[in-house]
Amino acid sequence: MKSYGNDFVVIREYKRFICVIEGEFDNCPKKCLYLKDSLFDMCYKVLEDIYICNMGNNRLVYISLVIARLRIIDFMLKRCVDMGIISYKRFLFLGSKLNSVVRLCYGWLRSEKSKS
């Protein structure tokens, strides 16, 4: 992947996604705090996995894990729409940001498979 400064494209785009998603949950009702906390925990686990994957040896496994966790985040965002935390329009916006990260990860996975 292309490297810009200290971060490469997947990390940079995912950090942007995290910054956007944090602003969406400022006024979260108390009954939905568990979902919000779980969502943020999962977001930071994915960021950690991307960094580990970038430095580690077992990249194919970690990239697949990152993609799986990104799909879980997508499901959690859908649950937020169902519970009325975010609107469907915001879900589509966040989903498109998340989908761009997923596409980058699939490209990274294809690149790693071609190397091995």
CA atoms of 40 and 52, how far apart (whole Å): 18
pLDDT given at position 4: 42
Q: Which structural domain, as residue segments, surrounds residue 89?
A: 3-115
- List, for residues 1-23, the tens digit of each pLDDT value: 444 445 589 999 999 999 999 88
pLDDT given at position 2: 45
Angle between helices 33-55 and 9-24 (to 10 degrees): 170
Report the predicted TM-score, pTM, of the whole model to 2 decimal places. 0.88
Structurally, the chain folds into a number of domains equal to: 1
CA atoms of 31 and 12, how far apart (whole Å): 32
pLDDT given at position 27: 79
pLDDT given at position 55: 86
* CATH label of the domain that carries residue 84: 1.20.1440.60
